[in-house]
Amino acid sequence: MTDDCKLCLSATGLTKIFGLGRQKCVAVDHVDFSFNEGEIISIVGESGSGKTTLAKMLLGLISVTEGTVYYKGKKRDISTQKKKQEYWKNIQAIFQDPFSSYNIFNKIDSVLLDCIYMRGGRRLSHAKKVELMTEACSFVNLKFEELTNKYPFELSGGQMQRLMIARIFLLKPRILLADEPTSMIDACSRATILEMLMKLRNETGMTLIFITHDIGLAYYVSDSVYIMERGKIVETGCADDVILHPRQAYTRRLINDVPKIHEVWDLSTV
Amino acid sequence: MSRVMLEVKELTTKYITRFRENVYAVDHVSLKVEEGKSLGIAGESGCGKSTLALSLMGYYFAPLHYTSGEIIIDGRNISGMDCDDVRKAVLGSEISYIPQGAMNSLNPTLKIIRFIEDVIKAHDPKISRKEIYELAKDRFMTLGLPADVLQKYPVELSGGMKQRTVIAVSVILSPKVLIADEPSSALDVTSQKMVIKMLRDLMEKSIIKSMIFITHELPLLYNVTDDIMVMYAGQIVEKGTAKQTVFDPLHPYAKGLMGSIIVPEYGLRGVKLAAIPGVPPNLKNPPTGCRFAERCKYVLPECRTHSIDFRDAEEGRAYRCILSEEHLREVYKND
């Protein structure tokens, strides 16, 4: 029974097919998984392996062709807009491209205020709202006084991505889906972003789903790893098992493709 | 000692902003690349890596302006040359450049062969289109790219393929120096490996004589280049071989960068990443003294007041810090 309670997000036979007839393209092909609460999961695969499509289905942004998604053991119901918004209180995402994640007409204040409203803080006093926003910004090492009255495009890529984490800090979802959160920013800010995500997870105990093509990152952050090839999950297991003792040729290839510093990087196998 | 392909002496370039402010994004940079060698330049965003790449070509356009210093390519001084002359005589044949976002650097309305014609005709207006096609086909075959790419439009190619095509176009005239500015940052690991292999092949088949590779991914740099330079706020702060710089960095900033390495290797899981706090200084009015002082863990009062020279260390290395080599190693050991 206790095991059932810990189950957070799961799916059976999840499939997404784009197009019809001869143009049919199976992006995600009968994927099964179950994520436990508080776990850090990585979904790894090369471009075009269906990682982002899977993420969008989990978020309810695109329809599911076949299969079911379960949230906390119960079938997910997002048939109406109201139910969808209810669901989004529990699951939130950080996307790859920080530059296109924001509405360019909205100021940063309103980005953060929206999050407070979503948590039912519409009736709070102005001072309390500012206090919440300041707290969220200081969590990600940004200064709210400097950000107020600015537009998102006035920030750098790393700062935008940090602001995205500040949003998550205010929303406190049960599941955070991070779709390549560090691929567009440099290695130095990457360390900062990862550090903040880990801190946030430790504070709130949420489930963190990382989607990445960099198996090094997956190894560094996650408890369990799912390897995805052409829409299918080909290998799963805990990070140490999968990455240090890969069983599938595809996993081995992904590991070989990452430059290393202690071992020789074999360039002949491309 | 082998031939020096590219030598840069005290190069300084600046941006002039709308408000007539000078931003010295490359500040007294000296470097040297020998034949058959590759040099890597590391640093975080906004530290002047890409500006250095642009400055090295000797082809300046507003708001970037040349201030002082020399650029010598294979014995020929190109600094101070007229921009039009540089374009005709130097770019493409002596020094070539792979831009950062190759995805966006191809005009979507032209076939790939048109870009090649463009490059070759700028240097040799009399050559016929047939000859160009043969030449291009030949070069594409050597580099392992299918020849039918030449007749395609950029939108028909995948990201990795586009990047490799851009590389093939930039080396069509066999330049002596190739500058690769983050050629793989927008690609996934598999395409990245193909790009790196192609750059390796270029060096091995001596289509290019030397290479400057710019990236923020240190594990990549370590595997690709012979030497590494670390850049911070427009200045070179550390220089050494790849192995020395990655495993035994001297400058505190270089040390900080090494703390951000993530690789899938045994025993490196859960090692705490050490992010460098703070942001690089605004170069409109750079701090007097050490530019890294604000963010440095080991800062001393003198750091903020004295300007610090780029000084030589043992084994051909050099670094820019007030502390001595032994002192720095001692400090890192105690961390």
CB B79 within 8 A of CB B71: yes
Give the integer Cα–Cα distance in Å for B330 and B327.
5
- Report how far residue A132's alpha carbon sits from residue A46's, in angstroms, rounded to the nearest whole number: 39
Contact A239, B239 (CB under 8 A): no
Question: Measured between CB atoms, which of A192, A213, A260 is closest to B219?
Answer: A260
Is the CB of residue A206 less than 8 Å from the CB of residue A176? Answer: yes
Domain boundaries of chain A, sorted by first residue? 2-257
Whether B265 and chain A come into contact, CB under 8 Å, resolves to: yes
Give residue B191's region: left, alpha or beta (phi > 0; psi -120 to 50).
Answer: alpha
Please report, as a single letter, which amino acid is at residue B20.
R
Tell me whether residues B223 and A265 touch, CB distance under 8 A. yes
Query: With an 8 Å Cβ cutoff, are A257 and B190 in contact?
Result: yes
| Chain A residue at shortest CA distance from B253 | A188
A220/B268 touch (CB, cutoff 8 Å), yes or no:
yes
Q: How far is CA B265 from CA A258, A259, B43, B99, in A?
A: 10, 10, 23, 31
- Chain A contact set for B193 (CB, 8 A): 256-257, 267, 270
Does B192 sit within 8 Å of A47, measured CB to CB?
no
Residues of A in contact with B261 (CB under 8 A): 187, 261
Residues 126-165, chain B, touching A (beta carbon < 8 A): 159
Separation CA B44–CA A187 (nearest Å): 7
Residues B4-334: name the CATH superfamily.
Answer: P-loop containing nucleotide triphosphate hydrolases (3.40.50.300)
Among A215, A243, A267, the residue with its CB nearest the CB of B197 is A267
- pLDDT in single tens digits along all 335 residues of chain B: 688 899 999 999 999 988 888 888 898 899 999 999 999 999 888 788 888 998 988 888 888 889 899 999 988 888 878 888 888 888 888 899 998 877 788 889 999 999 999 889 888 888 899 999 999 999 999 888 898 999 999 998 888 888 889 999 999 999 999 999 888 877 888 888 888 999 988 999 888 999 999 988 888 888 889 999 999 988 999 999 998 888 888 898 888 888 888 887 777 776 777 778 777 888 888 888 888 888 888 888 888 888 888 888 888 899 998 888 888 888 888 87
pLDDT tens column, A184-233 = 777 778 888 888 888 888 888 899 999 988 888 888 888 899 999 988 99
Domain boundaries, chain B: 4-334
Interface contact flag, A259 B45, Cβ < 8 Å: no
Searching chain A, which residue's CA lies closest to the CA of residue B258?
A: A188
Partner-chain contact B264 A262, CB within 8 Å: no
Calpha distance A47→B191 (Å, rounded): 9
Pairing of strands B235-241, B64-73: unpaired
How far B226 CA lies from chain A's nearest CA (Å)?
Answer: 14
Q: Quick check: B55 and B11 in contact, CB under 8 A?
A: yes
Window B:182-241, CB contacts with A under 8 Å = 186, 188-194, 196-197, 200, 216-220, 222-224
A217 and chain B in contact, CB less than 8 A: yes
Q: pTM here?
A: 0.85
Q: A185 touching B, CB under 8 A?
A: yes
Which of these CATH numbers, 3.40.50.300, 3.40.720.10, 3.40.50.1460, 3.10.20.70, describes A2-257?
3.40.50.300
* Chain B partners within 8 Å of A181 (Cβ): none
Instruction: Walk along chain A (270 residues) and give the pLDDT tens digit of each residue.
Output: 344 457 888 899 999 999 888 888 899 989 999 888 888 999 998 888 888 899 999 998 998 998 999 988 888 888 888 998 888 888 999 888 888 888 889 888 888 898 898 888 888 898 998 898 898 888 888 888 888 888 888 888 888 888 889 999 998 899 999 988 887 777 778 888 888 888 888 888 899 999 988 888 888 888 899 999 988 999 999 988 888 888 889 888 888 888 888 878 877 766
Q: What three-state secondary structure class fits A171?
A: helix
- State the count of interchain CB pairs (< 8 A) between A and B: 117
Least Cα separation, residue A178 to chain B (angstroms): 17
Among the partner-chain residues A187, A240, A257, the one whose CB lies closest to the CB of B216 is: A187
Find chain A residues with C-beta within 8 A of B259's C-beta.
191
Residue in the structure block whose two tokens are 């690349």: B33
ipTM for the predicted complex comes to 0.78
Chain A residues with CB-CB distance to B44 below 8 A: 186-189
Rounded distance, CA A216 to CA A200, Å? 21
Nearest CA to CA, how far is A197 from chain B (Å)?
Answer: 13
A149 touches chain B (CB under 8 A): no
**Looking at chain B, which residue has its C-alpha nearest residue A189?**
B275
**CA dist list (Å): A33 to A73, A109, A226, A249:** 12, 38, 9, 21
Q: What pLDDT does B123 receive?
A: 86
Task: Give contacts of B292 with chain A, Cβ < 8 Å.
Answer: none
Positive/negative CA dihedral, B297, B301, B305, B308: negative
Q: Which of residues 277-316 of B touch A (CB under 8 A)?
A: 277
B188: closest CA among A190, A96, A55? A96
How many angstroms away from the CA of A177 is the closest CA of chain B? 19
